[in-house]
Amino acid sequence: NPVPQFLRAGKGTVIFAPLDVTSGLLGTETWGVFGYEPAYAQALVKNLLFWTLDGQPE
């Protein structure tokens, strides 16, 4: 799986995912849309939520 990239901008962070996360979360395989596998997409979003709730490192 291609790894998402992070870009810090002021107090925020931009997360760029090279593949579609939504299709993985929905478990769909739409023709022409390249997305993460459902298990990977769910783990990625869960970890991003925990990272946000825990407080991003300065």
pLDDT of residue 11: 81
pLDDT of residue 38: 92
Q: Angle at the Cα of 25 (from 23 to 30), degrees rounded to 5? A: 20
Q: How confident is the model at residue 56 (pLDDT cuts 50, 70, 90)?
A: low
Per-residue pLDDT tens digits for 3-47:
889 998 888 889 999 999 999 999 888 888 898 999 999 999 999
CA separation, residue 52 to residues 9, 13, 14, 31, 34 (Å): 15, 10, 12, 32, 26
pLDDT of residue 57: 63
pLDDT of residue 43: 94
